[in-house]
Structure 1
């Protein structure tokens, strides 16, 4: 089972954004050292507690400080951007870091309606136009527009020795069917979905249409995990992420709270209902328990790879979680 990292670049309550981004770079270095397949960083806009609105900038920084791990976006929120510009940016990254660049594509706004309006015009119209935008992006990445297309003589320079690997990210039947139709690899965000994930992934596998000869469908499932030496320690660490999730849902908080801060957070009846959902969508425990559940999740989703997102207040706890998982999974 391949394991990878999804980083949302969280800012803890005692951190600056600069410190959080530095910890993201260190996390990528650690992932490379421990044998994780890839490191992706997410795109968010005007969300307190998340430090990365521009994955392409961070990927330049992370690529320069790593050497072998695949790096990519999780995801480029395509409705905000023109496909040509996205292709140029990721072709340039693939030129700087050959054979290492993934380009994950998503359709979510990544922030508030105000942020969407500030970023681009007609966001909802661009969401509806997503299939056409994806097609255009793939043609730019593969430099293979039909002879009758208006962009047939346009290249997204520089053309890298190995093109970025395109992935479509999503949590719905619509995203799965689009990935299958376009012959793209598919990453299902189980950590942020209440939908029937295995059924959605099966629809992707059943309807996959290869773009190139010999191409096969490929599936990543992203899960929310916190691992520590014992179940009790993992649950203690997880309280920061759990409370922060509750706070975000209510527009509260300015960063991931400490364990002490989270322990003092007042819980109301509605919070308890949401708490049950949050816990049901997380894997929390000791290394053996976590690995067992990851294998179960991979089998359930028919996944080729599990991507792990871990939110903790302490950067050391986050690194330790990934380290314990890798040591158990890879028998380091």
Structure 2
């Protein structure tokens, strides 16, 4: 039996290059979404980060609304809203409005970072109630959208995966953050889905990857990511360095050691090399969709990387009248 074609999606953290402002990074995210809208990607998610010199996306629900307005084909959403920071009912209201304006195109991905996690299950249940996702139950004032957002839970461990499966929600595994194979995590998700009477979904895997027209250029971009992340892990949170800055940098022994660890899960190389590694990663995790996270100091390099990936995977451009699924 032939395996279904691998679907690719975008996870955008709105990276700030060393010569960029946060406003420029946000505009670059809007430009990237428009650039990939017709390339055959499935969804486009924006992340939530606070007090970070390297990421501009502090309000993903606002950015998602802007991206929905300037694209036509992509499903757009969050990867994700940090639910413990907010009132669950307000999060649901925001996404009900987005779904009413853009039916069938809205994803609500939520994570449990950002505050006490003990109330997270109850908060998720309240979000589901206000989205109209619980059969037979409605809030006193039902303002759920005719086509509700698709609910996703984001996580890196089996507890989050089981919770998603028990709720019948979709699940995204943060491989790019954990640097650990997620087979057992996704197995737990699928088992919980089956017990809940909703088998079939496989979950998606979020992976950090970058490619370029030449192997040398791809390696330059990879070195930029590795230096940025190594510094961050060692307590120095900075914007993404340019390839020129990386070439001039004298790596410390600690940075070098950290980069060697990070290199194991960063997928970088020519389009052919990246295609092979991503295909193998998807097969190892039993998934038919990858969320690709690409970080570059220059927004043009990021656009080009996603264009080359679309070509390498032979993604099918949507018809002008195509409806996202």
Per the normalisation by structure 2, the TM-score is 0.90
Deviations 1:226-249 (A, max 9, x none): 111232221112211111112222
Deviation of 1:53 after TM superposition, in Å, equals: 0.7
Partner SS state of residue 208, structure 1? helix
User: Are positions 1:132 and 2:137 aligned together?
Assistant: no
Deviation of 1:331 after TM superposition, in Å, equals: 6.0
Deviation of 1:146 after TM superposition, in Å, equals: 5.9
Asked if structure 1 preserves the Cα contact closer than 8 Å seen for 2:61 and 2:94, the reply is yes
Asked if structure 2 preserves the Cα contact closer than 8 Å seen for 1:105 and 1:169, the reply is yes
Deviation of 1:210 after TM superposition, in Å, equals: 7.4
Deviation of 1:161 after TM superposition, in Å, equals: 2.3
Residue 227 of structure 2 is aligned with which of 243, 249, 271?
Answer: 243
- Find the counterpart in structure 2 of residue 184 from structure 1: 169
User: Are positions 1:66 and 2:71 aligned together?
Assistant: yes
Count of aligned residue pairs for this structure pair: 311
User: Are positions 1:142 and 2:132 aligned together?
Assistant: yes
- Find the counterpart in structure 1 of residue 32 from structure 2: 27
- Find the counterpart in structure 2 of residue 153 from structure 1: 140
Equivalent residue runs for 1:1-332 within 5 Å: 1-109=6-114, 123-124=115-116, 127-142=117-132, 144=134, 152-155=139-142, 157=143, 159-209=144-194, 216-330=200-314
Structure 1 gap ranges (5+) = 110-122
Asked if structure 1 preserves the Cα contact closer than 8 Å seen for 2:64 and 2:76, the reply is yes
Deviation of 1:143 after TM superposition, in Å, equals: 5.8
| Matches of 2:195 and 2:215, distance apart in 1 | 43
Deviation of 1:154 after TM superposition, in Å, equals: 3.4
Asked if structure 1 preserves the Cα contact closer than 8 Å seen for 2:47 and 2:80, the reply is yes
Asked if structure 1 preserves the Cα contact closer than 8 Å seen for 2:40 and 2:315, the reply is no
Partner SS state of residue 8, structure 2? strand
| Matches of 1:89 and 1:144, distance apart in 2 | 18
| Matches of 1:223 and 1:214, distance apart in 2 | 26
Larger deviation, residues 282-291 vs 258-267: 258-267
Asked if structure 2 preserves the Cα contact closer than 8 Å seen for 1:182 and 1:209, the reply is no
Deviations 1:139-198 (A, max 9, x none): 211264766xxx74233x3x3221000011011111111111111111001011133411
| Matches of 2:160 and 2:198, distance apart in 1 | 23
| Matches of 1:88 and 1:209, distance apart in 2 | 30
Deviation of 1:55 after TM superposition, in Å, equals: 0.5
Deviation of 1:60 after TM superposition, in Å, equals: 1.5
Identify if the C-alpha distance between structure 1 residues 226 and 58 changes in structure 2 by more than 3 Å, giving closer, same or farther.
Answer: same
| Matches of 2:97 and 2:26, distance apart in 1 | 22
| Matches of 1:94 and 1:294, distance apart in 2 | 31
RMSD (CA atoms): 1.8
Partner SS state of residue 300, structure 1? helix
